[in-house]
Amino acid sequence: MKLIRKRLTYANVMSSIAVFLILGGATAFAAKKIGSNEIKGNAITTGKIKKEAVTKAKLKNGSVATSKLANGAVTSEKLADNAVTNSKLADGSVTGNKIGQGTVSRGNLAEAKLFPRAFALVEFDGTVEPGFTTGIPNATTPVEGTYCFDLAFAPVHAQATGEADGEGNDMPSVSLAGTETGLINCPVGTDVEVEMWDTGFDEETEEEFFLVVW
């Protein structure tokens, strides 16, 4: 013990304290967090970032530009429902081949009521020609020259034209259920009534005609 005391000089004590202070300071520095101002520019490369370390919450709004996205990187399952609104579509960007068959109905079209909903070439006996008919069934004929049609929709307008046969004296007239004139010879439940009139003999007649319904 006496030997140790003899060797404890002022210089030995101060040098020992200095060593402890240096070691303690280095430990404290290593334990301290490294601030962004202590990182050299471009020092952190992609390979130094842990997988999935950068979350959505860490991205600044607008920080990922379109030019930074790889081609085909954003797939349909990555888009939230209703994320692409009409204002995000460029004019003319949706072409006809991008629209699914049957996805656009009359209700999606402006002025949809201007488009006919059904048409037919009707024979003298009330049957319709399949190749020239859409949406109109065969007619019933309660009396000669009267054709009654039951449709799958409520018509708002109808027009008939006599088939050209060289006579020029067959004139059709059309009546709709629920209108002011109403039906004349067709039973209740009929939607459209067509009467063919022979102007030469001034009487009803059985003749072919074209019918268009809106």
Structure-model confidence comparison of residues 207 and 55, the more confident one = 207
Residues 6+ positions from 211 with CB-CB distance below 8 Å:
119, 120, 122, 136, 149, 158, 159, 160, 174, 192, 194
Residues 6+ positions from 78 with CB-CB distance below 8 Å:
none
Q: Nearest to residue 203, comparing CAs of 155, 144, 154? A: 144
Give the separation between CA 73 and CA 63, rounded to whole angstroms: 16
Give the separation between CA 93 and CA 95, rounded to whole angstroms: 6
Q: What is the pLDDT of residues 2-20, one digit of tens each?
A: 555 555 565 665 666 655 5
Q: Work out the mean pLDDT of the chain and round it to a whole number.
A: 82
Q: What is the pLDDT of residues 145-159, one digit of tens each?
A: 999 999 999 999 999
In this structure, of 2-11, 34-43, 83-92, the range with the lowest mean pLDDT score is 2-11
Q: Nearest to residue 195, comparing CAs of 158, 156, 166? A: 158
Q: E strands within the chain?
A: 118-122, 146-149, 158-162, 170-176, 192-198, 203-204, 209-213
